[in-house]
Chain A
Amino acid sequence: MSHHTHEHGHEHAHEHAHGRNDLAVFQHGRPPVDRSAIQGWGADLDRKNRPAYPMERMPQRLDAPLTQPEPQAQHVEVLVSPERPHMTPLFGSPQPPSGLSGMLRRAAFKTTENDVRHWLLLLLADRVNVVEGLAEDLARGHVPNIFAEMGIKAEWEHNRVGLVKKVAVAAAVAGVGYYLLKRRGER
């Protein structure tokens, strides 16, 4: 409970740090916990000990140059949010936009982060990108082991019953589907 003001907290911080069990703090009718039994109780009760208090803190304590970093050389296409005027001095260069997903991503970046279409287009691009990823694997002559990628070995080791159930359910669904299709075909 905040029956204690912050100033109160400051005055008694050092005492609390040593665990003042006699202080009857109102805790919704429950007896106070034995603070001495809790390692480090109250070490940061004083807000001066809390490293991010207050949230915005100037000047910063970090010994960093206060000059804008020079711009990173750009060799690949990087999409930029329309909510900022230009390219940032630093950016990640892996996986530049490409293919159909890349076209969708470029379209997404015509809208702002404030526009929900931006995010929906990106999510759509992500799904398209999965198919592109499969095609890219196959083009390299690599047939991806999708079960291994999904961690089937761990599932077998740690959740055998669950795995068997999932396989049984999948088999049953496939079986029913096959039966329905077959019946339809016979009519």
Chain B
Amino acid sequence: MLAMNYRGPYRVRADHKPDPVIEHPGDAIVRVTRACICGSDLHLYHGLVPDTRVGTTFGHEFVGIVEEVGSEVTKLKVGDHVLVPFNVFCGSCFFCQRELYGNCHNTNPQASAVGGIYGYSHTAGGYDGGQAEFVRVPMADVGPTVIPADLHEDDAVLLTDALPTGYQAAEMGDIAEGDTVVVFGAGPVGIFAAKSAWLMGAGRVIVVDHVEYRLDFVRRYAQCEVINFREVDDMALHIKKMTDWLGADVCIDAVGCEAAGNAMQTLTGPYTMLQAGSATVLHWCINSVRKGGNVSIVGVYGPTFNAVPIGNALNKGLTLRMNQASVKRHLPRLIEHIQAGRIDPKQIITHRVPLEEVADAYHIFSSKLDNCIKTVLIPPSARQTRAVAATALN
């Protein structure tokens, strides 16, 4: 099959690899029809995630058609059109029993901090991802959700990570009515966090980034105020000026370890790896939120350590909340929101690229070229099916 193949930092290509096989009676093999590139894939692409082995296939945001099921699979059938949450999870361990599906204890031998994630290095379990024609999906009766007939496939693929992660970011901010919510990062997750903040009753939503086309998009899409941090001297001061000198009620980090905006952080983080990436946005969140406020973190950081102003967080009495999204528990409510027209996720997709051109797709997304917000990769087999269907219609 054709699959994305990681060769080293900033180097990927489409390659022929052996098809995945059923390795456990609970597995399914899914034929991928769409796979997104995620902002967090860039941390892998830039070589920042430990134990990212050469030859790995990335991709934790995908939808597809069930091609084959293991002997113990009872609910999923061959031919089902499914969306697959990015978490690989068992449904039965201590953490899954508490609906913490992003923290499953049974799917990642290599680390105990994070559960299994498709195509996200061996630190996240060593599973190959969905930027390929086929992918192995463990615990097929537990993870995948059959896509409702009236749900667009492009909306479905955004339900595998970007939308639930943005929504959970807002949820962890514990937004109360009228709250001022500042979202750092106008990428897909930040865009959906801003949108979700309104659903939870925010009074004011402000999004911070430096990529002008993304700020333009989020201003229209999420009806929010925007700040270009390149035009701001000091973020905490600026947010305080905007909020009667109190600070925001909730700050959300939807950026993670590759934040721009502070030369010292960039030097000690992504460049020299003296810390696990740049902690710029953590500083901004802790220092811009009001006393007693909430900071919600969904941006991804490395496993070692970051220098953060924890003393300020203490003195301000902050609540810090963070997690990988527990995608499965959000799906029913988010599907309702899409069906009710409260949120239209597919609008953020700017690029549809054949899987064969994966190297260019990564470069465009990584370098923010061509006004890119969200890229969807389409494997050749999915394109052929589509062409046949189109001919049949004509």
Q: Would A122 and B139 be within 8 Å (CB), given that A28-B244, A113-B113 are in contact? A: no
Residues of B within 8 A of A (CB-CB), count: 103
Q: Would A61 and B329 be within 8 Å (CB), given that A4-B177, A50-B200, A154-B364 are in contact? A: yes
Q: How far is the CB of A173 from the nearest CB of chain B, in Å?
A: 18
Q: Is the CB of A151 within 8 A of B223?
A: no
- Which residue from A41, A62, A70, A159 sits with its C-beta under 8 Å from B367? A159
Q: Is the CB of B24 within 8 A of A72?
A: yes
Q: Is the CB of A133 within 8 A of B203?
A: no
Q: Is the CB of B364 within 8 A of A40?
A: no
Q: Is the CB of B201 within 8 A of A40?
A: no
What are 15 A-B contacts with C-beta separation under 8 Å?
A: A3-B178, A4-B178, A28-B180, A28-B204, A40-B337, A41-B201, A42-B201, A43-B340, A51-B171, A55-B100, A87-B109, A92-B122, A94-B55, A95-B55, A158-B364
B198-217 residues with Cβ-Cβ distance < 8 A to A are 198-201, 203-204
- Give Cα A61–Cα B99 distance, bound, in whole angstroms: 8
Q: Is the CB of B111 within 8 A of A58?
A: no
- Which residue from A40, A95, A120, A149 sits with its C-beta under 8 Å from B340? A40
- Give Cα A70–Cα B361 distance, bound, in whole angstroms: 39
Q: Is chain B's interface secondary structure helix, strand, loop, or mixed overall?
A: loop
- Which residue from B90, B100, B343 sits with its C-beta under 8 Å from A69? B90
Q: Would A146 and B108 be within 8 Å (CB), given that A38-B223, A92-B127 are in contact? A: no
Residues of A within 8 A of B (CB-CB), count: 95
- Listed residue (A43, A51, A55) with the most chain B CB atoms within 10 angstroms of its CB: A51
Q: Is chain A's interface secondary structure helix, strand, loop, or mixed overall?
A: loop
Is B243 in contact with chain A by the CB < 8 A criterion? yes
- Chain A residue nearest in CB terms to B305: A116
Q: How far is the CB of A132 from the nearest CB of chain B, in Å?
A: 7
- Give Cα A109–Cα B55 distance, bound, in whole angstroms: 20
- Chain A residue nearest in CB terms to B342: A40
- Listed residue (A41, A50, A56, A120) with the most chain B CB atoms within 10 angstroms of its CB: A50
Is A181 in contact with chain B by the CB < 8 A criterion? no
Q: Is the CB of A130 within 8 A of B342?
A: no
- Surface stretch bound by A, among B10-18, B149-157, B378-386: B10-18
- Which residue from B223, B357, B370 sits with its C-beta under 8 Å from A37? B223
- Chain A residue nearest in CB terms to B360: A154
Q: Is the CB of A40 within 8 A of B343?
A: yes
19 more A-B contacts (CB under 8 A) besides A44-B196, A137-B7? A2-B292, A9-B176, A33-B203, A42-B200, A43-B340, A44-B200, A52-B330, A62-B328, A64-B90, A80-B110, A81-B109, A90-B107, A92-B126, A94-B56, A95-B56, A113-B112, A153-B357, A154-B360, A158-B370
Q: Is the CB of B198 within 8 A of A41?
A: yes
- Give Cα A163–Cα B94 distance, bound, in whole angstroms: 51
Q: Is the CB of A65 within 8 A of B110?
A: no
Q: Is the CB of A90 within 8 A of B139?
A: yes
Is B238 in contact with chain A by the CB < 8 A criterion? no
Q: Which residues of B contact A (CB under 8 A)?
A: 7-13, 23-26, 47, 50-57, 88, 90-93, 96-101, 105-113, 116, 122-123, 125-128, 138-139, 141-142, 168, 171-172, 176-180, 196, 198-201, 203-204, 223, 242-244, 246, 249, 273, 292, 302-305, 321, 323, 326, 328-330, 332-334, 337, 340-343, 357, 359-364, 366-367, 369-370
- Chain A residue nearest in CB terms to B292: A2
Hey, which chain B residues are within 8 Å of A79, CB to CB?
Answer: 109-110, 122
> Total A-B residue pairs with C-beta atoms closer than 8 Å?
294
Hey, which chain A residues are within 8 Å of B204, CB to CB?
Answer: 27-28, 30, 33
Q: How far is the CB of A172 from the nearest CB of chain B, in Å?
A: 22
Hey, which chain B residues are within 8 Å of A26, CB to CB?
Answer: 178
Q: How far is the CB of A129 from the nearest CB of chain B, in Å?
A: 5
Hey, which chain A residues are within 8 Å of B329, CB to CB?
Answer: 51-52, 57, 61-62
Hey, which chain A residues are within 8 Å of B109, CB to CB?
Answer: 78-81, 84, 87-88, 91
Q: Is the CB of A52 within 8 A of B364?
A: no
- Which residue from A83, A88, A123, A149 sits with its C-beta under 8 Å from B359? A149
Q: Is the CB of A4 within 8 A of B176?
A: yes
Hey, which chain B residues are within 8 Å of A88, CB to CB?
Answer: 105-109
- Chain B residue nearest in CB terms to A91: B109
- Give Cα A29–Cα B142 distance, bound, in whole angstroms: 48
Q: How far is the CB of B184 from the nearest CB of chain A, in Å?
A: 19
Q: How far is the CB of B85 from the nearest CB of chain A, in Å?
A: 11
Q: Is the CB of A126 within 8 A of B199?
A: no
